[in-house]
């Protein structure tokens, strides 16, 4: 497989951008080698600058629920762009997208932003404004974007690159951040026993997906919800990754809706932007109405609710019917089965974990992974060898062992379909790598 065009682009990129990238994990630092510069995508496939084709299992890190360049999404976006790309006024598409989110999830009001980072940052500001308290609780291994106060013991690129803390975040900014082990209700109880009347909110990924996929133990999120309610704190579930992906509404549908609890605030991103920069936070009307212009908590954005981005998101969600989630679930099971079988045959110890249609594999780990310490026990070197063997065989996996694998409705669950047959062919060799 020739990579000369990607190598040339990477060399030029490093002259003008730090590390040659605009988001760290893309640089392949953890796995080595040349990042592939993609020039097009269609359905389940990506094509790089050297015209190599890959079955894509990253899906732009989650947004591409329907696959790349879905014809109806492209048509809607093209028509929206032709009408004008940004007005700086309210417009119909953002209302329709907000209505769709309100219909699918327990939130009553939505405020649009442009990235998941903005969504969590704004949700925390709102929780602090609502409660008049400063402390916040997060869990180690959960990633909520590069918000100063939330970078403590974060997953995703922070763990991939082994960054212990982040220079540039003053100690006083994280002084109010209490970091607890995931899936540990006793640690939550202890923190509330000590600081209960000072805690503005608990924020958690609805199901952790940024240390690999680590679903909450049954009752864990419910415990957080009840504990927050008992102490006058707000419960924020971050569904930037899981929203409209793990299931039709998000992970809440599998968890809260079944167990009978609701978050006070939620954050969304990825799928709701249909591949464009669109994200949102939402929740209880009485809390959301504290935002400017109704209330005093300030939050704003030049491109928030952008008509092209919200059209992409709205079209994606309208096409994401229950059948799409059924198909995604079938494909996800099929790929899990193929990978597990190949690894077992090659004698590679591994643990596969799921959260709705999402899944990831922990290399060299034989026990279920419940928290960040468990996730970090994995054999990342073994994953690196597997990653490169798959890449060489034309299967594009996340360039880090700490990330979920993302499929799309364009991946056919039939093993004989073109994307899955390539995957199945690549697996035995990669598993032995
Ligand atoms: N929260 C979660 C759960 C995420 O997975 C991410 C991104 N991976 C973010 C927040 C941040 O989103 P963004 O990259 O759009 O800022």
First-to-last alpha carbon distance for the chain, in angstroms, is: 17
- What per-residue confidence (pLDDT) applies to 157? 74
- Mean pLDDT of the chain, nearest integer: 96
Any catalytic annotation for residue 138?
A: no
Per residue in 217-242, pLDDT (tens digit) is 999 999 999 999 999 999 999 999 99
Burial class of residue 183, CB neighbours in 10 A (0-12, 13-18, 19+): buried
Q: How far apart are CA 307 and CA 391, in angstroms?
A: 36
At 169, the pLDDT band (50, 70, 90 cuts) reads confident
Say what the pLDDT of residue 151 is: 87
Coil, strand or helix at 112: strand
What DSSP element (H or E) covers 351? strand 350-355
What confidence tens digit (pLDDT) does each residue in 310-320 have? 999 999 999 99
Question: How many Å lie between the centroid of ligand 1 and the Cα of residue 170?
Answer: 22
What residue ranges do the domains of the chain occupy? Answer: 4-65+321-432, 71-319
Rounded to 5 degrees, φ, ψ at 64 are -80, 60
Predicted local confidence at residue 163, as pLDDT: 64
pLDDT computed for residue 46 by the predictor: 98
Contact 342, 426 (CB under 8 A): no
Q: Mark whether 238 is an active-site residue.
A: yes
| 332 token code pair | 């996800």
Reply yes or no on whether the pLDDT at 162 is more than 70: no
For 4-65+321-432, which CATH class? alpha beta
* Residue of 177, 223, 226, 170 lying closest to 200 (CA atoms): 177
Q: What are phi and psi of 396, to 5 degrees?
A: -95, 105
Confidence class of residue 172 from pLDDT cuts 50, 70 and 90? confident
CATH value of 71-319 in 3.30.930.10, 3.40.640.10, 3.30.70.20, 3.90.260.10: 3.40.640.10
State yes or no: pLDDT of 164 exceeds 60. no
Clarify whether 412 is annotated catalytic: no
Q: Which residues pair with 362 in a beta bridge?
A: 351
pLDDT value at position 334?
Answer: 97
Active-site residue, from 48, 54, 138, 143: 143
Examine domains 4-65+321-432 and 71-319 and report if their fold is the same.
no
Q: Do you know the residue count of the chain?
A: 433
Q: What is the pLDDT of residues 34-62, one digit of tens each?
A: 999 999 999 999 999 999 999 999 999 99
Residue whose pair of structure tokens reads 């409705």 in the numeric block: 409
Choosing from 270, 383, 396, 412, the catalytic residue is 270
If phi > 0 it is left, if psi is from -120 to 50 it is alpha, else beta; for residue 283 that is: left
| Per-residue model confidence as pLDDT tens digits over 232-274 | 999 999 999 999 999 999 999 999 999 999 999 999 999 999 9
């Amino acid at each position: 497989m020739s990579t000369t065009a990607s190598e040339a682009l990477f060399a030029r990129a490093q002259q003008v951008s730090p590390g040659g990238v605009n988001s760290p994990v893309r640089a392949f630092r953890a796995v080595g080698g040349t990042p592939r510069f993609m020039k097009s995508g269609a359905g389940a496939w990506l094509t790089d600058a050297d015209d190599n084709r890959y079955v894509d299992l990253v899906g732009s890190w989650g947004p591409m629920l329907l696959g790349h360049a879905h014809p109806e999404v492209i048509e809607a976006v093209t028509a929206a762009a032709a009408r004008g790309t940004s007005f700086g006024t309210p417009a119909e598409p953002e209302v329709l997208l907000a209505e769709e989110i309100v219909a699918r999830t327990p939130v009553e009001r939505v405020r649009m932003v442009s990235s998941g980072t903005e969504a969590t940052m704004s949700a925390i500001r709102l929780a602090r404004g609502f409660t008049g308290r400063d402390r916040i609780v997060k869990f180690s291994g959960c990633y909520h974007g590069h918000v100063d106060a939330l970078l403590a013991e974060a997953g995703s690129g922070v763990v991939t690159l082994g960054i212990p803390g982040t220079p540039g975040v003053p100690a006083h900014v994280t002084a109010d951040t209490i970091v607890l082990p995931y899936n540990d209700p006793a640690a939550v109880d202890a923190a509330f026993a000590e600081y209960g009347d000072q805690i503005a909110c608990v924020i958690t990924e609805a199901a952790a997906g940024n240390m690999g996929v680590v679903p909450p133990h049954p009752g864990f999120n419910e415990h957080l919800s009840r504990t927050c309610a008992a102490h006058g704190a707000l419960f924020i579930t971050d569904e930037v990754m899981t929203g409209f992906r793990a299931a039709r509404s998000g992970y809440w549908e599998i968890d809260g809706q079944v167990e009978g609890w609701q978050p006070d605030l939620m954050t969304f991103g990825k799928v709701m932007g249909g591949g464009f920069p669109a994200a949102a936070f939402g929740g209880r009307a009485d809390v959301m109405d504290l935002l400017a212009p109704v209330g005093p908590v300030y939050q704003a954005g030049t491109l928030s609710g952008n008509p092209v981005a919200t059209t992409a998101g709205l079209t994606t969600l309208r096409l994401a019917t229950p059948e799409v989630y059924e198909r995604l679930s079938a494909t996800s099971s099929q790929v899990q089965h193929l990978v597990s079988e190949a690894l077992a045959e090659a004698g590679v110890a591994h643990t596969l974990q799921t959260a709705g249609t999402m899944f990831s594999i922990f290399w060299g780990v034989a026990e279920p992974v419940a928290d960040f310490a468990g996730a970090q026990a994995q054999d990342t070197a073994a994953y690196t060898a597997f990653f490169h063997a798959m890449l060489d065989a034309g299967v594009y996996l996340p360039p880090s062992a700490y990330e979920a694998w993302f499929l799309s409705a364009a991946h056919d669950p039939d093993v004989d379909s073109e994307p899955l047959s390539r995957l199945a062919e690549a697996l035995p060799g990669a598993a032995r790598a």
